[in-house]
Amino acid sequence: MLNLSRIRIRRIALIVSLSAVMLISPQLELLAQQQGGQAVAVLIPYRQGDKWGYSDARKKLVIPPVYGDAQPFEGDLARVKADGGEGFIDLSGKLVVPFKYDQVRAFSNGLAVVKLKGKHGFIDKTGKEVIPLKYDEAETFSEGLAEIVVDRRHGFIDTSGKEVIPPIHIDAEAFAEGLTPVLVVEGNRYWRIFIDKNGKEIIGKLPDDSIGSFSEGLAALANYSGTWRYIDKTGKEILNLGARYLQARKFSGGLAVVKSEDGKHGFIDKTGKLVIPVKYDEAETFVEGLALVKSGDKFGFIDRNGVEVVPPEYDFAQPFSDGMAAVLLNNKWGYVGKDGKVAIPLTLDGVDPFAQGLASVFGGGKLMYIDKSGKEVFESDYDENAPFSEGLARARLSVRWGCIDTSGKIVVPFKYDYIERFSEGLAAVVRFNMWGFVNRSGQLVVPLKYDYVEAFSNGLALVRLVDFEIGYVGRDGTEYFEP
């Protein structure tokens, strides 16, 4: 986002909190049908006073408001709260899981974590406790296993409840590519071992002090003496880098960044061959086929063969976006293409990344949008511009925000204190601390009356009134709540 007053790139992040929300899901996953390309909730959480139920899109109550809280449906079940406990109901409103739990979580692999009196277990979609509530902590299933904790010892269970990895380990990590490192103790010595999803020890008693998870079939390990090596999933040492490097990162796209003792960076392949010399002061991962590198105080880009497509000769550079990268030299900005050639001369005083074929720039005393040839598409009379998203770009004129289209035409009038990014064709806007939503035609479809809103997802947005009452609104502004 280009700020004329400071001639620099910045992104405005609006941080808000919602301390009064009870069981609100950040994803708002809903049972939905498609209407005109947009998801529409079949059953919507509906609040009536301090009670929640469910209605259809026309606000006709389908499930009476008798609950203390209600989550959007996830498939054919929804989490609800009543009588001091939490449970699940189905689409008919039938209580499938009774209100006897202190906490219920979303289903994963057909099972949901439940908590009662400090103990955790799992239920299936019929409400049956298929895994007893006997664990101090329990996580949702991932890769077919769930991490559990008993007396501060970690283990894993499968969906049948079998403790394939007994809770005997001091620490454990999430599975990656079918293996996970766990910490075990033997006497006064601590070891890391890798186990598979059957709980079988695949790689045992690693003497290394730093152990990474597997990526592309290899894991990086290091000890306090500074020796780095990579092992495969059998524990076989594939690469031994010795003490040549201070750091070795995960493999990505067949290459891994390494750092030498003198602080220089390069890339190795899976044979350990140094395919890109350790000569850069900084090296980032590849984006759009090129990696940003720094040599001395200059920036450039290399390809996977180590070819300096863009030689390190710039004072600063941004990662590639939409096939173009912004570069800075002698306080002037321009752009290079993926062929390494200067696509737009370095004559600009400020730039934004390209998005949807256009970029906001400042040069020659004016703010404007240019295309990838550097041609001015239209001049901007605004003090701050943002990259295009969903065909519109946010802009600020003095203290007011609006939106323009790719021709520069004003679509959303400049009368708001701030505008969030568009999501599902709607953007949150605020004026005098009151929030609402506009569509891509600039129409205020949800009035400015809320002191907090979340982005639309599957046709609904969570909102909060000034009196801390919460509820959902539809894309047309329909409120699914009443006093």
Structure tokens given for 324: 């173009």
In the block, tokens 């890798």 appear at 194
Task: For strands 165-169 and 171-172, give the pairing.
Answer: unpaired
Instruction: Indicate whether 483 belongs to any domain.
Output: no
Q: What is the pLDDT of residue 242?
A: 81
Structure tokens given for 388: 């295009």
CB neighbour list of residue 207: distance below 8 Å, 6 or more residues apart: 191, 223
Q: What is the domain extent for residue 183? A: 105-253
- If one counts the domains in the chain, the total is 1
Q: What is the pLDDT of residue 327?
A: 97
Instruction: Indicate whether 136 belongs to any domain.
Output: yes
Distance CA 425, CA 455 (A): 10
CB neighbour list of residue 133: distance below 8 Å, 6 or more residues apart: 114, 115, 116, 119, 120, 121
CB neighbour list of residue 339: distance below 8 Å, 6 or more residues apart: 309
Instruction: Indicate whether 215 belongs to any domain.
Output: yes
Instruction: Indicate whether 208 belongs to any domain.
Output: yes
Q: What is the pLDDT of residue 324?
A: 96
Instruction: Indicate whether 293 belongs to any domain.
Output: no
C-alpha closest to that of 74 among 115, 37, 38, 104: 104
Q: CA triplet 43, 45, 47: central angle to 5 degrees?
A: 140
Q: What is the pLDDT of residue 225?
A: 72
Q: Can you give the three-state secondary structure of 455-480, one letter per residue?
A: CCECCEEEEECCCCCEEEEECCCCEC
Per-residue pLDDT of the chain (483 residues; tens, 9 = 90+): 655 443 333 322 222 333 333 333 333 333 344 444 444 457 999 999 999 999 999 999 999 999 999 988 988 999 999 988 999 999 999 999 999 999 999 898 899 999 999 999 999 999 999 999 999 999 988 888 899 999 999 999 999 999 988 998 888 887 888 898 888 777 787 888 888 888 888 888 886 667 777 888 888 888 777 788 888 898 888 888 887 888 888 888 889 999 988 899 999 999 889 999 999 999 998 889 999 999 999 999 999 999 999 999 999 999 999 999 999 999 999 999 999 999 999 999 999 999 999 999 999 888 899 999 999 999 888 888 888 888 899 999 999 999 999 999 999 999 999 999 898 999 999 999 999 999 999 999 999 999 999 999 888 899 999 888 899 999 999 999 998
State which amino acid sits at residue 231.
I
Q: What is the pLDDT of residue 277?
A: 92
Start-to-end C-alpha separation, the chain: 40
Q: What is the pLDDT of residue 151?
A: 95
Instruction: Indicate whether 404 belongs to any domain.
Output: no
Instruction: Indicate whether 175 belongs to any domain.
Output: yes
Q: What is the pLDDT of residue 3?
A: 52
Q: What is the pLDDT of residue 208?
A: 62
Distance CA 326, CA 370 (A): 13
Model pTM? 0.60
Distance CA 210, CA 372 (A): 45
Query: Using only C-alpha atoms, what is the Rg of the chain?
Result: 28
Q: What is the pLDDT of residue 200?
A: 83
Q: Which helix (H) or strand (E) holds 156?
A: strand 153-157
In the block, tokens 């692999």 appear at 109
Instruction: Indicate whether 161 belongs to any domain.
Output: yes
